């Protein structure tokens, strides 16, 4: 299920549409969202929706989004379950400026970086920035572990099954099948 987001539009339902025909998936800028600590929000769904609402104020326009996906926390399944999704965005930010903008949104939502993989109110990861690959002054693109994670590849395959990973050269549809982490992930 794909939802496109229009300026000023807020919808609780997904609209079954594809990315417009003029969009080249080789240019896709993909951001993953995750939450397993609702923080001040009534639910992780509400927290993630609120985070998406902040994107525009940071110069990030959402052009397509997945549904939310649920999965056990990783690596410790005793932590609260995660809610995840992905968006394809347009932005004038270069990769480093985009990461800074995503960090500001995380900070505004109370993201604390204490113990690695600890529960978090908001986790925003830059999965891909077009076909860029490699270490870009400390920023590794595409995200080095995204291809292994069903809770990332599943949502990408949902909205852009033909997107090809810049380094594995496999489609999102193929990667979701072979992903070894978060194999319980499913759309909710």
Closest CA to 131 of 24, 13, 23: 24
What does pTM read for this prediction? 0.88
Instruction: Report the pLDDT value the prediction gives residue 182, as an integer from 0 to 100.
Output: 93
48-61 per-position pLDDT tens digit: 999 999 999 999 99
| Predicted pLDDT of residue 23 | 86
172: left (phi over 0), alpha (psi -120 to 50) or beta: alpha
The predicted-structure confidence for 112-144, as pLDDT tens digits, reads as follows 777 776 688 899 999 999 999 999 999 999 999
Q: Mean pLDDT across the chain, nearest whole number?
A: 88
In three-state form (DSSP H/G/I as H, E/B as E, the rest C), the secondary structure along the chain is CCECCCCCCCCCCCCCCCCCCCCCHHHCEEEEEEECCCCCCCCHHHHHHHHHHHHHHHCEEEEEECCCEEECCCCCCCCCCEEEEEEEEEECCCHHHHHHHHHHHHHHCCCCCCCCCCCCCCEEEEEEECCCCEEECCEEECCCCHHHEHHHHHHHHHHCCCCECCCCCCEHHHHHHHCCECCCCEEC
Q: Which residue has the tokens 């995660």?
A: 82
């Amino acid at each position: 299920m794909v939802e496109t987001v229009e300026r000023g539009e807020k919808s609780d339902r997904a609209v079954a549409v594809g990315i417009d025909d003029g969009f080249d998936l080789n240019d896709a800028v993909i951001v993953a969202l995750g939450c397993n600590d609702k923080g001040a929000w009534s639910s992780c769904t509400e927290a993630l929706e609120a985070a998406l609402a902040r994107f525009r104020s940071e110069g990030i326009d959402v052009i397509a989004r997945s549904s939310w996906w649920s999965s056990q926390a990783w690596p410790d399944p005793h932590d609260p379950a995660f809610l995840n999704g992905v968006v394809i965005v347009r932005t004038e930010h270069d990769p480093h400026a985009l990461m800074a903008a995503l960090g500001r949104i995380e900070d505004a939502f109370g993201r604390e970086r204490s113990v690695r993989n600890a529960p978090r109110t908001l986790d925003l990861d830059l999965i891909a920035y077009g076909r860029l690959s490699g270490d870009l002054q400390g920023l590794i693109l595409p995200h080095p572990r995204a291809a292994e994670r069903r809770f990332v590849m599943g949502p990408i395959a949902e909205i852009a099954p033909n997107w090809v990973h810049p380094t594995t050269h496999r489609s999102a549809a193929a990667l979701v099948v072979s992903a070894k982490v978060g194999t319980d992930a499913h759309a909710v």
